Amino acid sequence: MQPADLGQLLSRVVGGKTAKALEKAFGMTTVDDLLRHYPRRYAQRGILTELATLDEGATVTVLADIQEVTVRRMRERRGTILEAIVTDGQGTLALTFFNQKWRENELRPGRRGLFAGQISTFRGKRQLAHPNCLLLPDGVDDDPEAIAAFASELIPFYPATSNVTSWQIADAIRVVLDTLGDLPDPIPDEVRQDECVIGLAQALAQIHRPANNAELGQAQDRLRFEEAFVLQVVLAQRRAEMALMPATARVVGDGPLQRAFDRNLPFELTRGQVAVGEEIAVDLAASHPMHRLVQGDVGSGKTVVALRAMLGVVDAGGQAALLAPTEVLAVQHYRTITSMLGPLSQGGMLGGDANGTKVALLTGSQRTATRRRELLDVISGDAGIVVGTHALIQDTVQFRDLGLVVIDEQHRFGVEQRAALAAKARGDLRPHVIVMTATPIPRTVAMTVFGDLDVSTLRELPAGRCPVATHVVPVREQPALVRRAWARVREEVDAGRRVFVVCPRIGDDDPRAPDDDIATQDRGIAGEESTAASVISVAGKLADGELAGLQIGVLHGRMTGEEKDDAMRRFARDSGDSRIEVLVATTVIEVGVDVPNATAIVIIDADRFGISQLHQLRGRVGRGSLPSLCLLFTEMPQGSPARARLDAVAATTDGFELAQLDLELRREGDVLGSSQSGVRSSLRLLEVVRDEDVIVRARAAAVSIVEADPTLVSAPGLLSAIHALVPDAQADFMEKA
């Protein structure tokens, strides 16, 4: 048989039947897939133990002489039982084997061996059922090194299914390792030497067949570093490619539009907003495209920073597009921008400022005539700023000179969508790109998911913002608090303010609530599953009960664009018979919705939402100067994981602290989802919370390698690993991003 390599099909090494079972259970098709299926835990055979000191349930390894062997038929079913009595001279122990009569030839009285397993008791007699056995040849029983090696050997246990067991996986891996040929190493020799990590072939052998904990640690350290290193090389290549792309340099900061905007601002920019604005101005002046992530906590003023950058680009002769994930948010951005600009948003119109520009809005639900008019303004360049949803990506949307793309809540967009919008610049030029997120990102995530972007962080909140008081309302434990909560809502409305009520579902016909994985797991642990609250049901109950007499409206994803827009307009209205005082909504209001007069938010079944989502929802209030309130309704009991998450949200309004906690609770695959990063999630051993030092070292090594050899022609093993990590189609989008 030819030596196996990592790219070889499993069927050629382990056989068609086994390969088919592994593919069905785990999606494995190649030798590499199987060898990267690492054990989830290891059991040690146990330390050498005297027979007289054995405790039931203990996992032990004993050195003993075989005293006698008997074979008898089972009484109640077919088959035989072989029992060997072993002794260490002080005590005895029974070894029991079912239907293994063949062992009678090797387990002969007088032989000495090592026997490992778990102690149990049957009819008052201590025994090892089906133990692992190593019979020692003459002379070895006096060799302490051989005895210690067997006792310390680690037994791997693999992630398995009901159809493919751990030992079947172990058998397949044993076959592969025994036939494995030379392996190209993804980590170049110089990096391995600098990092003092072992080679790939040795690491794979030791992680599946560790002789001891030291070998296991060596293998895990190497493979953990490899995961970080390969990913960081991908990101370093991406940064290098971006640096070579052409873009129109836009010198900003002194144009009439931005000067007029700054002069009319009713508030003073924070130091953070000024600093980030200066970083963006430097990037825009370069002849290669900016790719910058602007992150900041809820209400930190990211929109103002982005708007100043867009105005600067318009001053420099270009256009700017703002891409929002939902129609509600796109409309909200459009209103915010036109309101902040005032006459500056009415360029060329009666009453507009002479230095102004038009602001266009493009969404999927617009009427044909409106959309046609907006498209003409975009393609002619009359609209310097274009706000929209995914509708901006469509082929019918053409820009005269797209200079800047601002992507809000970038985690809602995949690599392909970002690439499609970036491709709308003129010719081979690429627009500058700002991506914004109101979900603060821990440093380790920024280095992995967003390692191709420069990161700017806004930590200050604008002056005059009041903190949001947050309280958990235990529905079952304290119904009096529930009544008080609704009374508090009525008090806010009576004072002329507005209140959000958020529910997980739209209607009772929804199959389930949009729980995140952590929330789902927590509810399963904490108690019985119940039907999540729905907008339609809650709105009806409130109108007939606790909030009777108040103006209650609804907002959810099934409504048309016009219906959503009407609901938000009525909710933001201070007076009038058609106003909405309490808006019952889904998470469609999660990001960007800005109603300064909204001072309270009630989140029903709050345990069904993740930490970051709750923090975003809380950010819908406290956007003005009035004290605000967030109430988290839950049926989860005190002490449950779900309740602990809610208590954490209530304990702090620091989004960076909550983001770190959220990361610690989430699986790594969620952190590196393909839609966010453009790369297949490959983290098996690396944990971005625990392994920050590994990521930092891997990033430095990756930068050095890519600077020395951008195409990696001198590192074929690394190139192969990158091709496995980044599929060709996504690599194409990566180049356009």
Reply yes or no on whether the pLDDT at 196 is more than 90: yes
Q: For position 140, what pLDDT does the model report? A: 55
Q: For position 660, what pLDDT does the model report? A: 80
Q: For position 677, what pLDDT does the model report? A: 46
Q: Which of the following CATH numbers is that of domain 46-152: 2.40.50.140, 2.60.40.10, 2.120.10.30, 1.10.275.10? A: 2.40.50.140
Greatest mean pLDDT range, 43-47, 49-53, 87-91, 302-306? 302-306
Lowest mean pLDDT among 116-125, 277-286, 481-490, 710-719: 116-125
Please provide the CATH number assigned to the domain covering 256-458: 3.40.50.300
| Amino acid making up residue 559 | M
Q: For position 676, what pLDDT does the model report? A: 45
Reply yes or no on whether the pLDDT at 674 is more than 50: no
Instruction: Summarize the confidence of residues 93-108 as an average pLDDT.
Output: 89
- Higher confidence at residue 716 or residue 54? 716
Reply yes or no on whether the pLDDT at 501 is more than 90: yes
State how beta strands 59-73 and 92-98 pair: unpaired
Please give the structure tokens belonging to residue 620: 């819908």
Q: For position 673, what pLDDT does the model report? A: 44
Average pLDDT over the chain, rounded to whole?
A: 85
In the Cβ-directed half-sphere of 213, how many Cα atoms lie within 13 Å? 6
Q: For position 688, what pLDDT does the model report? A: 76
Using CA of residue 307, residue 313, residue 319, residue 322, what is the dihedral sign? negative
In this prediction, residue 516 has a pLDDT band, given cuts at 50, 70 and 90, of very low
**Which tens digits make up the pLDDT trace of 212-245?**
899 999 999 999 999 999 989 988 998 888 888 8
Reply yes or no on whether the pLDDT at 319 is more than 90: yes
Lowest mean pLDDT among 201-210, 318-327, 588-597: 588-597
Q: For position 382, what pLDDT does the model report? A: 94
Q: For position 143, what pLDDT does the model report? A: 65
Q: Which of 475, 408, 414 is nearest to 646 (CA)?
A: 475
Please give the structure tokens belonging to residue 563: 């219906």
Estimate to the nearest angstrom the gap between the alpha carbon of 322 and the chain centroid.
Answer: 24
In this prediction, residue 45 has a pLDDT band, given cuts at 50, 70 and 90, of low
In this prediction, residue 734 has a pLDDT band, given cuts at 50, 70 and 90, of very low
Reply yes or no on whether the pLDDT at 22 is more than 70: yes
Instruction: Summarize the confidence of residues 350-371 as an average pLDDT.
Output: 88
φ/ψ (deg, to 5) at 630: -125, 125
Q: For position 298, what pLDDT does the model report? A: 80
Instruction: Summarize the confidence of residues 37-48 as an average pLDDT.
Output: 75
Q: For position 46, what pLDDT does the model report? A: 61
Reply yes or no on whether the pLDDT at 680 is more than 50: no
First to last CA, the chain: 45
Q: How far is CA 102 from CA 105, 112, 566, in A?
A: 6, 18, 82
How big is the chain, counted in residues?
A: 737
Q: At what angle do helices 271-284 and 302-315 cross, to 10 degrees?
A: 40
Q: For position 334, what pLDDT does the model report? A: 93
Distance CA 237, CA 227 (A): 16
Alpha-carbon radius of gyration of the chain: 32
**Which tens digits make up the pLDDT trace of 105-147?**
889 898 888 787 888 988 888 899 888 787 876 555 566 676 6
Distance CA 132, CA 191 (A): 40
Q: Which of 62, 81, 89, 88 is nearest to 123 (CA)?
A: 81
Same fold, 256-458 and 468-652: yes
Number of other CB atoms surrounding residue 221 within 10 Å: 17
In this prediction, residue 151 has a pLDDT band, given cuts at 50, 70 and 90, of low
pLDDT over 70 percentage in the chain: 87
Q: In what order do the strands lie in the sheet with 582-585?
A: 468-474, 628-634, 598-603, 498-502, 582-585, 552-555
Reply yes or no on whether the pLDDT at 7 is more than 70: yes
In this prediction, residue 672 has a pLDDT band, given cuts at 50, 70 and 90, of very low
Number of other CB atoms surrounding residue 495 within 10 Å: 9
Are 595 and 331 in contact, with CB atoms under 8 Å apart? no
Number of other CB atoms surrounding residue 693 within 10 Å: 10
Detail the DSSP E strand segments found in 452-606: 454-458, 468-474, 498-502, 552-555, 582-585, 598-603
Instruction: Summarize the confidence of residues 482-511 as an average pLDDT.
Output: 90
Instruction: Summarize the confidence of residues 596-619 as an average pLDDT.
Output: 92
Instruction: Summarize the confidence of residues 488-504 as an average pLDDT.
Output: 95
List b or e across 70-98, with b for residues whose CB sees 16 or more CB atoms inside 10 angstroms. Answer: eeeeeeeeeeebbbbbbebeeebbbbbbe
3-state SS record for 153-198 = CEEEECCCCCCCCHHHHHHHHHHHHHHECCCCCCCCHHHHHHHCCC
**Which tens digits make up the pLDDT trace of 441-468?**
777 777 776 777 888 999 887 776 777 9
Residue written as tokens 């806004």?
458
Q: Which CATH superfamily is domain 468-652 in?
A: P-loop containing nucleotide triphosphate hydrolases (3.40.50.300)
Q: For position 112, what pLDDT does the model report? A: 83
Using left for φ > 0, alpha for ψ between -120 and 50, and beta otherwise, residue 730 falls in: alpha
| Amino acid making up residue 317 | G
Confidence (pTM): 0.71
Reply yes or no on whether the pLDDT at 165 is more than 80: no
Please give the structure tokens belonging to residue 564: 């959503």
pLDDT over 90 percentage in the chain: 47
Reply yes or no on whether the pLDDT at 54 is more than 90: no
Reply yes or no on whether the pLDDT at 515 is more than 80: no
Q: For position 181, what pLDDT does the model report? A: 81
- Domain ranges for the chain: 1-45+165-182, 46-152, 256-458, 468-652
Residues 6+ apart with CB under 8 A from 611: 518, 645, 648, 649, 658, 659, 661, 662, 665
DSSP sequence for 683-719: -SS--TTT-HHHHHHHHHHHHHHHHH-TT-TT-HHHH
Q: For position 669, what pLDDT does the model report? A: 44
- Higher confidence at residue 472 or residue 522? 472
Detail the DSSP E strand segments found in 568-682: 582-585, 598-603, 628-634
